[in-house]
Amino acid sequence: MASYFFGFFVIKYIYIDTQPALEQLCASYEQASVLAVDTEFVRERTLYAKLGLLQAYDGQTLALIDPLVISDLSPFWRLLENPSIIKVIHAGSEDFEVFKHYGQVTVTPLFDSQVAAALSSMGSSLGYGKLIETLLDVSLDKGESRTNWLARPLREAQLNYAANDVYYLHQAYFKLQQMLEQNGKLTICQQECQRLVNKPNNTIVLDKYLDISGAWQLVPEQLAVLQQLAAWRYLEAVKRDLALGFVIKDSELLALASRTPQQINDLYTIKEIHPMVVKRHGKKLLALVAQGLSQDDLPSKIERLVNFSAYKQTFKTIKALVEQVANEHDIPKEMIASKKIINQVLSHYWIHRQQSKHLPILLSGWRHQLLGEKIIDLLSNKKG
């Protein structure tokens, strides 16, 4: 067991780098009621984050788990789905991706301390360091935030930094929990944490073209080409574990779909496309263009909210309603509804004609309880 001084405290941790040690650790964690969890990873050119370290603390044992040398992390993954253990994570969106990719697990039950802080009048999107400073009067050293977590051996400063992230998080949980109970927002926090960890992921490959900025400019025949190109790029990125833009950029896909080249020489005339892309993927890209042009089931022209005559005024009305509710209930307006969330509900009514697969965020859970009916009344009587 290693230890280090921080302020007046001696923080002890154990480094887990064998399968038996992991299994013994997780067996002890099974008895915990609250488990603070964090990850350290590297993501530069890859599609998926490269996991470098797992940290956990139950109030008694702080463990740094080395996923590079332990082949079977399933005992730890099972902890994340254990309904009897509250998992405390700060701003966990990227952690959730890591857990789903490496462990095929969804964290439950979750307590996201950033969500809890926002509901406790501490501001939206509060960073971990500021949270700990505010709640516990401890200033953390963030000097290792840009470290290479895949390098071995990890330096003592790196290990200390990683231990910090769960040691103080465990303490912060109990203060935040008490604050939420006192202000009556614990249920909202629980609902919001569940929503965040269960966020739907667009895994329909043929829908990937909808993520490309500027796709609205294309006609259905061109969209069919973009649909094939974007689907291929995603599958190629998964196969090679390469970030989408390192396979081929959005701007290059858009140029291909709008110009629909037929021959290799045509590709070289498109200034947006890098010659190396043509050399590496030229024949495949031409085949995908031809496939898109020959398909019978064409995508519909993409409608834009800004083209609806009532958009500006309706958006402004909903934004004002959000601000009113935020002031009444002391919840950050950014947490209730961003521009994206407001646009989502407008798309639900005006573009998808209330046939969306997923109910808009503003019309579900605690947000619906606070202002959903007012929005429904507004949009039921307001045509785009």
Do 312 and 244 sit in the same domain of this protein? no
What is the Cβ-side half-sphere exposure of residue 279, based on CA atoms within 13 angstroms? 3
Asked whether residue 368 is assigned to any structural domain, the reply reads: yes
Q: Output b/e per residue, 202-234; b: 16+ Cβ within 10 A.
A: eeeeeebbbebeebeebeeebbbbbbbbbbbbb
Do 288 and 309 sit in the same domain of this protein? no
Q: Which of 226, 261, 294 is the last residue of a domain?
A: 294
Where are any strands of DSSP class E within 25-116? 34-42, 50-57, 62-65, 86-89, 110-112
What angle (nearest 5°) sits at the alpha carbon of residue 85, between those of residues 9 and 66?
60
Q: Which of 275, 294, 313 is the last residue of a domain?
A: 294
Q: Which amino acid is at 337?
A: A
Do 185 and 219 sit in the same domain of this protein? no
Q: CA-to-CA distance for 175 and 134, rounded, in angstroms?
A: 11
- CATH value at residue 357: 1.10.150.80
Which residues does residue 86 pair with via DSSP β-bridges, in sequence order? 34
Domain that holds residue 191: 2-197
Asked whether residue 373 is assigned to any structural domain, the reply reads: yes
pLDDT confidence of residue 7? 46
Do 177 and 158 sit in the same domain of this protein? yes
Do 64 and 148 sit in the same domain of this protein? yes
Distance of alpha carbon 102 from the chain centroid:
15
Asked whether residue 274 is assigned to any structural domain, the reply reads: yes
Do 113 and 253 sit in the same domain of this protein? no
Domain count, the chain: 3
CB 210 within 8 A of CB 303: no
CB 148 within 8 A of CB 42: yes
Do 154 and 242 sit in the same domain of this protein? no
Do 169 and 85 sit in the same domain of this protein? yes
Residues 158-214 have pLDDT tens digits of 999 999 999 999 999 999 999 999 999 999 999 999 999 998 776 789 999 999 999
Asked whether residue 142 is assigned to any structural domain, the reply reads: yes
Ranges in the chain, pLDDT < 70:
1-10, 202, 382-384
Q: Which of 235, 266, 294 is the last residue of a domain?
A: 294
Do 209 and 278 sit in the same domain of this protein? yes
Do 66 and 17 sit in the same domain of this protein? yes
Residues known to be catalytic: 38, 40, 95, 161, 165
- CATH value at residue 121: 3.30.420.10
Asked whether residue 154 is assigned to any structural domain, the reply reads: yes
Asked whether residue 263 is assigned to any structural domain, the reply reads: yes
- φ/ψ of residue 13, rounded to 5: -145, 160
Asked whether residue 56 is assigned to any structural domain, the reply reads: yes
Do 20 and 159 sit in the same domain of this protein? yes
What DSSP letter does each residue of 191-253 carry, written as one string?
HHHHHHHT------GGGGGGGSTTGGGS-HHHHHHHHHHHHHHHHHHHHHT--HHHH--HHHH
The sheet carrying 9-16 orders its strands as 2-6, 9-16, 62-65, 50-57, 34-42, 86-89, 110-112
In this prediction the pTM is 0.91
What does the chain come to in residues? Answer: 384
Asked whether residue 299 is assigned to any structural domain, the reply reads: no
Do 44 and 162 sit in the same domain of this protein? yes
What DSSP letter does each residue of 106-122 carry, written as one string?
---SEEEHHHHHHTTTS
3-state secondary structure of 86: strand
